[in-house]
Structure 1
Amino acid sequence: MFPGATTDREAASYVVVGAPLDATTTFQPGTRFGPDRVRRFAETFDDYDRKTGSYFSDLGVCDAGDVRPWDDTDAYLDHLAAELRSVVYDDAVPLLVGGEHTVTHAGVAATDPDVLVVCDAHLDLRDAYDGNPLNHACVTRRAIDDLGVDRAVIIGARTGSEAEWDRAAEADVTVVAPEDARAWVDGLGGDGGGDDEVIEGDEFVGDDESVYCSIDIDGLDPGFAPGTGTMEPFGLSPRTVRDLVRAVAPHAVGCDVVEVNDRDDGQAAALAGKLLRAFVFAHAAGETDD
């Protein structure tokens, strides 16, 4: 169980769902261990959050366990989306813990956001990888082209194929490079205050638009999060990503943390667990302010 997620499912405002999919990993496998490691390395975190003055265990979080995958990824994603959709139908916010980034497909399908905000080292805008359109390298492309997302904002991207960069130049994609991320997050009210005022108006999110927040742990520099499948140097700092999550959370209908594996001493898992908690604290504070 995710520490502090002690609320009954029927009364929950947030529901943690593990998705240990490890089907299309292209370099270092191990994301099947991600959900368990995130739970394990969150055990030492204090219940109290000084910034919001709240206790995690008071915010109505339930851990619904894992949705175990099988060898048909397409069918699994449909099933996972149905499980997450049941959370949405119960007026709760799904908190998806991967697993490879492909599971975001299910999170987006279940929550139907207007805008996808992704922290990622990679563009993930391939139409297919090795002939497979349901690959972790294609997840942002699927969200835009197939799942009805109006726009994607990719923070921290620093690599992609030529075709992906061409796709990223279109109007429905915004890429924020690592060197620009701090200023971009500060423009969102990135100290975590959840300000209504966001940068340059409709470039991020309008008042009537919803957001899905996806945190691929490889968006952070691998010096901070080496336990991931496809490490890419020159990435984001943990503080920048935390402040991004805090700023986006009040607008969000769902969140995931993905691509944690078992190839470090827990650094990636600890960051993922802390970012998930940061989302809940900021989202709950935003709901209270409204």
Structure 2
Amino acid sequence: MFPGATVDREAASYVVVGAPLDVTTTFQAGTRFGPDRIRRFAESYDNYDHRTDQRFTDLGVHDAGDIRPWDDVAEYCDYLGGQLRDIVWDEVIPIVLGGEHTVSRPAVEAVDPDVFVCLDAHLDLRDEYDGNTWSHACVTRRVLETVDEAVILGARTGSEAEWDRAEEDDVTVVAPESVDDWLADPPGFGEQSVYLSVDIDAADPGFAPGTGTMEPFGLTPRQMRDVVRAVAPHCDGFDVVEVNDRDDGQAAALAGKLLREFVFSHAVSD
């Protein structure tokens, strides 16, 4: 159970779901351990948040456990999406713990937002990778099949074809060195519904080495926190993904803290 996620499902405002998919990881596998590690390394965090004057245990968070995956990624994603859609239909905010980034696609489909905001080192705009359209390297491309717009913060690498795709009107890329400027005047989103996805590899690997495809020259934890705080009030869904077991808990600790920041920031805006 995620620490502080103590309410019953029927009383929940937020439902945490683990999705430990680890099938298409292309470098360092281990995202199957992500949900449990995020829960474990969040155990030391205080219940009280001074900034928002809230207690996590008062905010209606329920942990529904993990939806165990199998080898057929498309079939698993279809099932996961159905489970998350049940949460959305109850007018509850789903929070997904990955698992590889592929799990964002069914989560976005369940939430059905207008805008996908993503913290990520990679563009993930490939149409396929090694012949697989369900690869984690294709997730933002797949998400764009269901949303009007994608905003990718922290991206610093991609294929030539991905950078070409990023030039289209429905994609905005904010480089790591431009994130502070974006935060100084973030979009208001208006009446648009937003889904926020945090790929932990958006962080510089010096801060979060426990991830599958490390990419130097990334974001600081504070920048990621500030993005979550800015976007959370507009969100109808959230995930944090790509944490694995190949560090001493740095990536998982950051992921758990960002999850809490999302809940505190979302709840105080209601």
For the aligned pair, the TM-score class normalised by the smaller chain equals: over 0.9
Q: Which amino acid counterpart does residue 253 of structure 2 have in structure 1?
A: A
**Deviation sequence 1:166-201 (CA, Å, 0-9, x none):** 00000000000000011111212xxxxxxxxx3xxx
Q: In 1, Cα distance between the equivalents of 2:164 and 2:192?
A: 26
**Deviation sequence 1:36-95 (CA, Å, 0-9, x none):** 000000000000000100000000000000000011110100100011111111111000
Q: Does 1:7 align with 2:10?
A: no
- The equivalent residue for 2:262 is 279
Q: Which amino acid counterpart does residue 231 of structure 1 have in structure 2?
A: M
Structure 1: 5+ residue runs without aligned partners? 189-197, 199-204
Q: In 2, Cα distance between the equivalents of 1:97 and 1:75?
A: 19
Q: In 2, Cα distance between the equivalents of 1:125 and 1:141?
A: 4
**Deviation sequence 1:207-248 (CA, Å, 0-9, x none):** 221000000000000000000000000000000000100110
Q: In 2, Cα distance between the equivalents of 1:18 and 1:186?
A: 33
Q: Which amino acid counterpart does residue 27 of structure 2 have in structure 1?
A: F
- The equivalent residue for 1:60 is 60
- The equivalent residue for 2:135 is 135
Q: In 2, Cα distance between the equivalents of 1:42 and 1:90?
A: 27
Q: Which amino acid counterpart does residue 230 of structure 1 have in structure 2?
A: T
- The equivalent residue for 2:176 is 178
Q: What does residue range 70-89 of structure 1 map to in structure 2 within 5 Å?
A: 70-89=70-89
Q: Secondary structure at the match of 1:222?
A: coil
How many residues in Structure 1 have an aligned counterpart in Structure 2?
270
Q: Which amino acid counterpart does residue 214 of structure 1 have in structure 2?
A: S
**Deviation sequence 1:16-55 (CA, Å, 0-9, x none):** 0000000000000000000000000000000000010000
Provide the TM-score with structure 1 as the length reference: 0.92
CA shift at 1:253, angstroms?
A: 0.5
Contact kept in structure 1, 2:189 and 2:234, CA below 8 Å:
no
User: Which consecutive segments of 4 or more residues in structure 1 shift more than 6 A?
Assistant: none
Cα RMSD (Å) of the superposition? Answer: 0.6
Q: In 2, Cα distance between the equivalents of 1:178 and 1:245?
A: 15
Q: Which amino acid counterpart does residue 220 of structure 2 have in structure 1?
A: S
Q: Secondary structure at the match of 1:17?
A: strand
Q: Does 1:209 align with 2:192?
A: yes
Q: What does residue range 238-249 of structure 1 map to in structure 2 within 5 Å?
A: 238-249=221-232
CA shift at 1:110, angstroms?
A: 0.5
- Within the candidate set 152, 155, 159, 2:153 is matched to 155
- The equivalent residue for 1:226 is 209
Q: Secondary structure at the match of 2:22?
A: coil
Provide the TM-score with structure 2 as the length reference: 0.99
Q: In 1, Cα distance between the equivalents of 2:251 and 2:191?
A: 34
